[in-house]
Amino acid sequence: MVDNIPKLLYLDDLSQSKPERPGWSLTFGASCQDAAAVCLDDQNHPYRVNLQINGIQDTEVELQWNPINDTIRRFNADA
């Protein structure tokens, strides 16, 4: 069952130190943040989008991110 109110996740939070992510480096988090933002932008998603997650505990997350720049896009370009 999915909660009625999606949990809000700012992609910027991936590059912040959080106790629920032990061993997660801030550099790795920033790389994941940028790669996710490029992917979402390439698919023309708005800067807020709901993501349905199905698994052991189904849930819905509302992702929010900032616009990306050309440097981030070039760094994360598929070769």
Read off the amino acid at residue 40: L
Please give, one letter per residue, the 3-state secondary structure of the chain. Answer: CCCCCCEEEEHHHHHCCCCCCCCCCHHHHHHHHHHHHHHHHHCCCCCEEEEEECCCCCEEEEEECCCCCHHHHHHCCCC
pLDDT tens digits, residue range 8-35?
A: 889 998 888 877 777 888 899 899 999 9
Q: Mean of the per-residue pLDDT values for the chain?
A: 86
> Once rounded to an integer, what is the mean pLDDT over residues 58-67?
91
Read off the amino acid at residue 46: P
Q: Is the pLDDT of residue 1 over 60?
A: no
Predicted confidence at residue 18, as pLDDT, reads: 78
Predicted confidence at residue 68, as pLDDT, reads: 92
Indicate the pTM of the whole model.
0.77
